[in-house]
Amino acid sequence: MEKQTVTAKSKYIRQSPYKVRLVLNLIRGLNVNEALNILTFTKRKAATDIKQLLESAIANAENNFGMTSANLEITKAIADEGPTLKRFRPRARGSAGRINKRTSHILIELESVEG
């Protein structure tokens, strides 16, 4: 029997991919219920966005493919770089300092595990 995979994407999240990856590394390869528990108690801004995306992926699996959430496991969790907003701040002697406001695209892939 083929393993079914379900994906969910979230784009243009206003946080740098580096900070998002720190949270994704905590949940990669875990069961969905364990991952939700970890994200609930993680004190990082990215955790709320990732938790919302994970819940969306679980809903996709249950409603579109008829899977049960107890058998789902996170196989892929990626944060790619999105477009960077470039802003400038005045500095000394009439110069300007550049501020990069980074964005990220997050992808979560779930797979059903028998057992």
Helix (H) or strand (E) holding 16: none
What class has domain 5-112? alpha beta
Do the beta carbons of residue 112 and residue 100 sit within 8 Å?
A: no
Q: What is the pLDDT of residue 114?
A: 77
Predicted pLDDT at 90: 97
Structure tokens at 42: 């993680």
Going residue by residue through the chain, which has 115 residues, state the pLDDT in tens, using 9 for 90 and above. Answer: 568 899 999 999 999 999 999 999 999 999 999 999 999 999 999 999 999 999 999 999 999 999 999 999 999 999 999 999 999 999 999 999 999 999 999 999 999 987 6
What is the pTM assigned to this prediction?
A: 0.92
Parse the chain into domains and list their residue ranges: 5-112
| Joined tokens for residue 26 | 């905590």
- Tell me what pLDDT residue 113 has: 87
Could you give phi then psi for residue 67, rounded to 5 degrees?
-85, 160
HEC profile of 37-54 = HHHHCCCCHHHHHHHHHH
C-alpha distances in angstroms, 14 versus 9, 86, 105? 14, 13, 9
pLDDT at 2: 64
pLDDT given for residue 4 in this prediction: 87
Q: Is the dihedral of CA 78, 81, 85, 91 positive or negative?
A: positive
